[in-house]
Amino acid sequence: MDAFHYDLLQNDKYGRYLVAKKDLEGSELIFTDLPFVVGPKPDIPPLCLGCYCPVDNTLCSRCGWPVCNSECEQSPHHVEECEVFSSAQVRFQPVEDWTASAPQLDCITPLRLLLAKEKDPVRWQQELDVMEVHSKARQQRNTWRVDQVNIVDFLIDHCKLGGRFSKELVQKACGILEVNAVEIPSRGGFSVRAVYPRLAIAAHSCVPNIVHTILQNDYKVEVRAAVPIKKGQPLHLCYTHVLSQTIVRREYLLDSKFFHCDCPRCADPTELGTHLSTLKCNKCDNGIILSTNPLDNDAQWSCTEKSCGFKTSGAAMRKMLAVVQAEVDQLDALEPGPQAIEQREATVNKYKSVFHPRHSILLSIKHALAQLYGRVDGYGLDELPDLILERKAEFCRLVLKTLDVITPGDSRMRAMMIYELHAPLMYLARSEFSAGLITKEKLKERLQEPIQCLADAARILSREDPQSPEGITGQIAYQSMEQLKASLEAL
């Protein structure tokens, strides 16, 4: 029934792509899709092949590959591959470190794709066989040769599948996954990957107009309009992290999806006025440094002040950004705690004269701080001074202002940020009332915004899987909204 909300078209730029079949309202369900295959992604530690929980030397009693219990041995995800490994007597080789990535698992999802092809050849032919796999471009890469040894030769020669599949078909399965799979959350807490034939057709834009939700029971995806969409407009998904800067997004898209993005956001040096790629000029007072051509990663960068004349190469800019990004990656590896907050604040302070306040690198740190303040020892909401509550609110608003432009409408990230915003607004209003700085009527007025934040967060997150972190946050937001309303009536 929902399949009638889009049409499938084709052109030279996008290949196959989807357009709205009618005028769509924001949040309207456009279609649902079930995955053709779900399985581990590359470079992950050993996971249970049934539920994707981490395992430590727990193996299937039949085939000897990682599962966490007898129930997962019988999981529909694992049963067919179990038969393949058992018949070929190919067992998972013991590893020393069960937290390190296990290349042995790289074969699992391609094998599942091939087994699913056998089970449903019609769906394969209609939906998977037509997918773009960029074989020529992939052949030039080292990953092709690694896949040939770890996956193609392993499945055909060691697992004795040569009578069922050709080596060309196995390599095509690898290409389908590399180009078309999406990363999804699993019940086990680790991300896995899945191929959704309909979702894979949606074209990319760095300013998407659709959002998707994964329901974890059967990994069904629900695709909705993020904003109102007119009949005939393309449905755009963002294949990258929306807060990334243009250089990072375009390199990722070329590396993983094999195309040069030239969307309006990528083509604008200011990223539609968000300044996610903008640097401050240290040679003059008022200038900012922008790329002279953001669609060319090697283009020169220069100061906007004509009298300044500062210039630097694209290569020098990429090198500097890589060094700073490595620092940020180290911050992201820290356990949540006082040190995680203090080191991030120190990094913001260190680079505030280098980057625009909304530069992607600073904004990602501020986004993390907005979530950490109020959640770690020594920085609980009850302990935060008004100055830090104001800083948490400032960071939330900064992120939300950026999201208004680059991912407008209802998104998970927006909902989680407005949920974070409600707390400092509520605590600041109560603090001012306790200090006698505002009247009871003014307090009631001030508490309307946090109530609205909670209502919006609960509404958006009600679509998420109820056992996911976002789904749980949505339930908490609704309960908190009801409690805040009740306390307001009791004033």
Q: Which of 370, 373, 379, 368 is nearest to 334 (CA)?
A: 368
Residue 234 β-bridge partners:
19
Q: What is the pLDDT of residues 220-246, one digit of tens each?
A: 999 999 999 999 999 999 999 999 999
Location of structure tokens 């294949």: 239
Residue 1's pLDDT is 40
pLDDT reading at 2 higher than 80: no
Buried b (16+ CB within 10 A) or exposed e, 357-373: ebbbbbbbbbbbbbbbb
Q: Do 281 and 274 form a contact (C-beta atoms < 8 A)? A: no
Confidence of residue 3 (pLDDT cuts 50, 70, 90): low
Q: Do 201 and 47 form a contact (C-beta atoms < 8 A)? A: no
Q: What is the pLDDT of residues 397-410, one digit of tens each?
A: 999 999 999 999 99
β-pairing, 210-215 vs 279-280, is unpaired
CA distance 384 to 428: 10
Q: What is the pLDDT of residues 133-160, one digit of tens each?
A: 999 999 998 889 999 999 999 999 999 9
- ∠ CA 239-333-422, nearest 5°, is 70
Average pLDDT of every residue of the chain: 94
Residue 110's pLDDT is 97
pLDDT reading at 13 higher than 50: yes
Name the phi and psi angles at 35, rounded to 5.
-70, 140
Confidence of residue 173 (pLDDT cuts 50, 70, 90): very high
Confidence of residue 129 (pLDDT cuts 50, 70, 90): very high
Residue 184 β-bridge partners:
192
Q: Which of 231, 196, 229 is nearest to 213 (CA)?
A: 196
Confidence of residue 418 (pLDDT cuts 50, 70, 90): very high
Q: Which of 244, 264, 265 is nearest to 256 (CA)?
A: 244
Mean pLDDT of all residues in 279-307: 93
Residue 461's pLDDT is 97
Mean pLDDT of all residues in 336-361: 96
> Side-chain half-sphere of 283: how many Cα atoms within 13 Å?
13
Q: What is the pLDDT of residues 305-317, one digit of tens each?
A: 989 989 999 999 9
Mean pLDDT of all residues in 345-367: 96
What is the model's pTM? 0.91
Q: What is the pLDDT of residues 209-225, one digit of tens each?
A: 999 999 988 899 999 99
Beta-strand (E) ranges in 108-247? 182-185, 191-195, 203-204, 210-215, 220-225, 236-237
CA distance 406 to 395: 17
Residue 188's pLDDT is 74
Residue 252's pLDDT is 93
Residue 217's pLDDT is 81
Residue 12's pLDDT is 86
Residue 15 β-bridge partners:
11
Mean pLDDT of all residues in 321-345: 95
CA distance 459 to 425: 19
Q: Do 75 and 146 form a contact (C-beta atoms < 8 A)? A: no
Mean pLDDT of all residues in 351-366: 96
Mean pLDDT of all residues in 169-194: 91
Contacts with 418 (C-beta within 8 Å, 6 or more apart), sequence order: 396, 400, 453, 456, 457
Q: Do 79 and 63 form a contact (C-beta atoms < 8 A)? A: no
